Every structure is written in structure tokens, then in C-alpha cells.
Amino acid sequence: MTTTERAHLWSGADLDLDAYLDRIGYDGEHEATLEVLRGLQRAHVTSIPFENLDAVMGLPVLLDVESLQDKLVRSRRGGYCFEHVGLFAAALERLGFEFTALIGRVTLGREKILPATHALLAVKAVDDERLWLCDVGFGQGPLEPVELADGVEADLDGWRFRVERRPGRFGIDDWWLHQYGTDGWIDRHTFTLGPRFPIDFVVGNHYVATHPRSPFVQRPVLQRFSATHCDVLDATEWFTVRPDGTRTARKIEPADLAQVMEEQFGILLSPEEHALLMEHLDVS
């Protein structure tokens, strides 16, 4: 792959950068520095919610930049990891960052091997030699990049993360991201540093958005993250999670779903979309 091809791999030139930065409320410098990277990630993860509503409704989930900015920027919707990371990658490319796209496996403490369906980025800044993990599409942070080095721990406004490197299968090291909660450290996902490309995101996204065993087609899940807490709407269960892992929960009525999505998660569906969502909502 030539330098020119790599520079346009994520279609950053097609991104309306000003509209994206306005969407996330970022008004800092436009340079490929570590400070800018930190500011961009914090702004992105606290402004654009995580949600899988289109997959639940059986609507197409598109990953081209025009579709991403139409949905996540202009329509002020959210998305899941492939959408978030695709949009963030376009912005980083436009700003001149060097990065590698990755795809990992969500574990959450389970030993079962699950599909590789979680998108991430490994990023370098022009003023820093370290490699940084940008995980902008999980829904519960991190607020800022975490250094991709074995044993590193990061405390970001009380949200704690740890990176671990282990010998993996076939001679390729596995990397693990752990998050601290009420039960201590739990592995969140594992990945390798093998580079992935937009077409790999398309393949993973197809499974997530359409396969009957994908949890994202079975029920709506929304998350809105901030420095102090994360609100999670799982079907009609609404949780508020705090940095130490403690949570409060409440049940909402299906009739109140639209109001809660708009007021608490910033997502407004059209009447037709809401009716379609209710058709697929299992409240049994």
C-alpha cells in the first residue's frame, strides 16, 4: 500500500470536519498531537451515544463516511463500535494522525471464544513516541486514550483501566484491556495488533447488524457516557453506572421509552422509526 493510499484509507477528505467537531463540542487545536488526541476522544465519547437501534429495527447500518456523518453528526444519532471508530478514524486521518485499525473480541470475564466484532484504534501522535489505544465505541469509556504498553494503568476521572500483554496463539501476542469495578479488575476485551482495514469493518459489521445470534439485533441498548457516570438503557431497564462500578437501576414503561431516549440519551426517532422499534421490543 502506498503512502497516498494509506493517507486516504478512511476517507477523511470526505468528512465535514467542522460539523463533526461542532457535534462533539471540540474547539481546540487542529494538530496531530497527544493533547489534541486526548481532547478529541474525551469530546467524542461524551457527546455521541452508543446505540444499536437500526440493527434492532432491521435497518441497514452503513459505514461509509457520508452515511456515518449523516447519522451520527447531522441527525445527532449514535452508533456502535464500527460506526464510532469509522467516524473517529476519518477525523484522525483528516488531522494527520498515524494509526492502525484493530478488531478485538469482547470478553467481560468469559473464557468462551466469541467473534472478533469490536473495533478499536492504535494511534501515534507527532509529538509522542508511545502507542495509544483509542477505544471510542464501547460505550463506557475510556475518556481518553490509554497507553498501549504492558502493565499500564490509567485513572481517568475515577474510571480505571489496565493494559496487559500475554503470549497468544500462533506466536502472536494478545493484548487485553481491563476495567475496574465493584468486583475488581475484569477483562473487557482482547485483541492483537494485526492491522485491519475498512473492508474488515464491513464484514464484522454485517455479523453484528444481521446475524440472529448477535445480541445487537435482539434488544435495544443505549449508553451515554460522562466523566461522572454512564447511563445504560437495556430494553426497558435503565442503569446508571459510576466509576467505582456501583449502579442504580430502574424499570421504565414501554410508553415512556421515546421520552427517556430523547431526554436522557439525546436520541430522537421519527414516529415511523419509533413504531418500528416498538414492533421489535420484547418486554416480556
Active site residues: 81, 118, 135
Query: Collapsing DSSP states into helix, strand and coil, what is residue 141?
Result: coil
CA angle 53, 146, 106 (to 5 degrees): 45
Q: Are 208 and 50 in contact (CB under 8 A)?
A: no
Between CA 241 and CA 236 the distance in angstroms is 16
Torsion of Cα atoms, 108 then 110 then 115 then 119, to 10°: 20
Q: Are 78 and 50 in contact (CB under 8 A)?
A: yes
- Residue 273: CB atoms within 10 A of its CB come to 17
Distance of CA 161 to the CA centre of its chain: 16
H or E element in which residue 233 lies: strand 230-234
Between CA 172 and CA 190 the distance in angstroms is 12
